Chain A
């Protein structure tokens, strides 16, 4: 059984079915997603690729529960995230990495506070997590990102490079040991050298938590090729192609995917 088959046989972690989403009203109504379906299994890395305005970010926000779809359903661990319990479960067992690390980290918070925030938010009300334990767990997450805690715990984003800030943002996303990691264009706002560090960081996280599912939104086929198991191609709000990374990149079927692959090899 191949690795891809093994992933396909794993339990479904996140599932979006027939999602429609539009913005505006009346004449200004503009449909962004036209019935998109997507599935992420445990241990699988699914990459959503497509050009600007294809609906990638809207789809991610809907899958995160930050936007409500006009129709369709999103399930996390079998529970619709439209229900309070489903949304709570999704938020407490997932992590998100955004495009711009400097925008996703509070400029007036140290790395310790930013990375520690999900831990503080997710502990039950009756549980107490003292500062020592919090600092130790934040340090572990930073070490996994190849960042020295003694140097980074009390750093502010203003004193970090783009790659360092993005690794701190990833540390924040994985500090709770999430079952699902969503990365929305996490490598498009940083330079090539830092991109390699981020890829290494993602690889380290996947090695630590082999059952963690990952949803990667990107327009960089190089990044996608190096990390994704499955690729979903989105164009004008429609899923035009999906399949294993090797199949989609080596033998694209949809004309739009062929254009993307051809453009990437220029």
Chain B
């Protein structure tokens, strides 16, 4: 039996108009999430990151124990009904500190990715500019700046700013933005020199419009993966920079803070290092898998469901 072609509806313009409205965007977002959910890796990433956001929100109102509640008689306690993941060296509840730390790391990751994306897109725009001096100059600038280690930038920023979240966000955002621009350059150049961009220019499209509507969507798959890698690396960098004393200040809960305060006792009380370490590892893996799954699901070239195809090419 022939299946009816559900795409063939009489009022094509009206259907297209609806598809480009808010409902259409919502439907496409639903297709993207469903496509990610259809794969194990995507499901793991969505669940993990969803839990991370949920726990961060809950920690604003509730933690099992107060962060400042300490018990000198129950230091380095093993997991129990009172302290689900045990206690640290001052008898504070490890689970509560990790819960509260999750929101600090979430803010750091979100801001770092935003800064990296802003710097990266600015540099990609410069590299794909039709002004040869700007295009060549930006490539040289990136090659020069990318050689400066992120840790060094963080140490320099810590002089005026002190140990703070801003140091991590600015240092990592700057470094990852340079990296993002360098990785996105080949696909951006391909798009910038394409016939469809020339066609848009011939129709009178401004450089800004060409960049926003043609170049960015065509480098988006690269950007998505690079941003997810940056997000994962930001979690690791938070831990590293906090351990060095230039990251999250003392007294502010973060996973890096939990790691740095307990790492000296890893030989005696390994569990207190294991929990934040495990958390960081799982979240970094989830972020990387999220990037891959989103790239596959949100790109119409790789996701036939976004093209309304259900996997069938219709030439």
A residues in contact (CB < 8 Å) with B: 64-66, 88, 91-92, 94, 96, 98, 100, 103-109, 112, 114, 117-118, 121-122, 130-132, 135-136, 138-139, 149-151, 153-156, 158-161, 164, 172
Contact of A136 among B13, B214, B307, B314 (CB under 8 A): B13
Q: How many residues of B contact A (CB 8 A)?
A: 37
Asked if B299 and A159 sit within 8 Å, CB to CB, the answer is: no
Can you show 9 pairs from A to B with CB atoms below 8 A apart? Answer: A64-B202, A106-B218, A107-B301, A112-B16, A121-B203, A121-B209, A122-B204, A154-B307, A161-B315
Contacts of B199 in A (CB 8 A): 96, 98, 104, 172
Shortest C-beta distance, B252 to chain A (Å), equals 42
Contact A135 B12, beta carbon cutoff 8 Å? yes
Binds A, one of B17-25, B233-241, B266-274: B17-25
Q: Judge whether B7 and A154 touch: CB under 8 Å.
A: yes
Give me the 6 closest cross-chain CB pairs, A-B, nearest first: A135-B13, A150-B12, A131-B17, A104-B195, A103-B195, A91-B204
B16 contacts which of A66, A121, A154 (Cβ < 8 Å)? A154
Q: Which residues of A contact B149 (CB under 8 A)?
A: none
A155 touches B195 (CB 8 A): no
Does B1 have its Cβ within 8 Å of any Cβ on chain A?
A: no
Cβ proximity bits B1-12 to A, threshold 8 Å, 1 near / 0 not: 000000111101
B64: CB under 8 A from chain A?
no
Which residue numbers of B lie inside 8 Å of A, CB to CB?
Answer: 7-10, 12-17, 19-21, 194-196, 198-205, 209, 214, 217-218, 299-301, 307-309, 313-315
What is the interface of chain A mostly: helix, strand, loop, or mixed? helix
> What is the distance, in angstroms, from B79's C-beta to the closest C-beta of chain A?
50
B173 to chain A, nearest CB (A): 27
Cα A122 to Cα B301 in complex, Å, equals: 28
CB distance from B56 to the nearest CB of A (A): 33
> In the bound complex, how far is the Cα of B287 from the Cα of A178, in angstroms?
49
CA distance A161 to B16 in the complex (A): 22
A108 in contact with B301 (CB, 8 Å): yes
Known contacts A106-B214, A122-B203, A150-B7; is-contact A158 B196 (Cβ 8 Å)? no
Query: Which of B8, B217, B218 is the one whose CB lies under 8 Å from A150?
Result: B8
Chain A residues closer than 8 Å to B194, beta-carbon distance:
103, 106
Q: How far is the CA of A156 from the CA of B304 in the complex (A)?
A: 10
Contact A159 B195 (CB under 8 A): no
Contact, CB under 8 Å: A131 / B20: yes
Q: B19 contacts which chain A residues (CB < 8 A)?
A: 154
Structural contact, A108 and B217, CB atoms closer than 8 A: yes
Residues of A within 8 A of B17 (CB): 130-132, 135
C-alpha gap A138/B202 in the complex (Å): 19
Q: A94 vs B204: C-alpha distance in the bound complex, in angstroms? A: 10
Q: Which one, A132, A135, A150, A155, contacts B307 given CB within 8 A? A: A155
Are B195 and A117 closer than 8 Å at their CB atoms?
Answer: no
- Check if B196 sits within 8 Å of A103, measured CB to CB: yes
A132 B13 Cβ-Cβ under 8 A: yes
List, in ascending order, chain B residues with CB within 8 A of A164's CB. 315
A103 to B10, CA, bound (A): 31
Q: Complex: how many Å from CA A161 to CA B315?
A: 5
Q: Give Cα distance in the complex from A160 to B7, angstroms.
A: 15
With a cutoff of 8 Å between Cβ atoms, the chain B residues found around residue A107 in the complex are 218, 301
